């Protein structure tokens, strides 16, 4: 049985449409997976930043506690702590 050219063209077009829809659905699936992975990376990065900030704050608190002596004059430690506090504040403002 011989089929007409118009009929064969419809069959060919239907196959092309099916392949295109399969490809679109695969692309959408990959995009969804990529979004999930990107969100996980973003959350991990934020946790790392918070951990680093907390660590710096803890170090500063420890240094402040260790230097609780009567102030007679400004020491190198005072200058260092002052600069470190300014740096931490500046970094926290830049992250916002």
Q: Are 78 and 60 in contact (CB under 8 A)?
A: no
CA distances from residue 73 to 69, 70, 76 in whole angstroms, order as listed: 11, 9, 10
In this predicted structure, the answer to whether residue 51 has a pLDDT above a threshold of 70 is yes
| Residue 73: per-residue pLDDT | 58
Top mean pLDDT of 20-24, 62-66, 79-83 is at 20-24
Mean pLDDT (whole number) for 14-21: 96
Residues 89, 93, 96: CA angle, nearest 5 degrees: 145
**Total domain count, the chain:** 1
Mean pLDDT (whole number) for 1-19: 91
| Domain hosting residue 49, numbered range | 5-95
| Residue 76: per-residue pLDDT | 73
| Residue 21: per-residue pLDDT | 95
pLDDT digits (tens, 9 = 90+) for 77-91: 777 888 888 888 888
What pTM was estimated for this model as a whole?
Answer: 0.41
Residues 83, 87, 90: CA angle, nearest 5 degrees: 140
Rounded to 5 degrees, what are φ and ψ at 92? Answer: -70, -35
């Amino acid at each position: 049985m011989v089929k007409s050219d118009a009929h064969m063209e419809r069959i060919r077009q239907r196959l092309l449409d099916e392949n295109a829809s399969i490809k679109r659905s695969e692309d959408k699936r990959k995009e969804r997976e990529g979004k999930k992975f990107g969100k996980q990376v973003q959350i991990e990065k934020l946790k790392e930043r918070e951990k680093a900030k907390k660590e710096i704050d803890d170090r500063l608190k420890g240094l402040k506690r260790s230097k609780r002596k009567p102030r007679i004059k400004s020491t190198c430690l005072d200058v260092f702590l002052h600069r470190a506090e300014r740096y931490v504040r500046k970094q926290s403002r830049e992250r916002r």
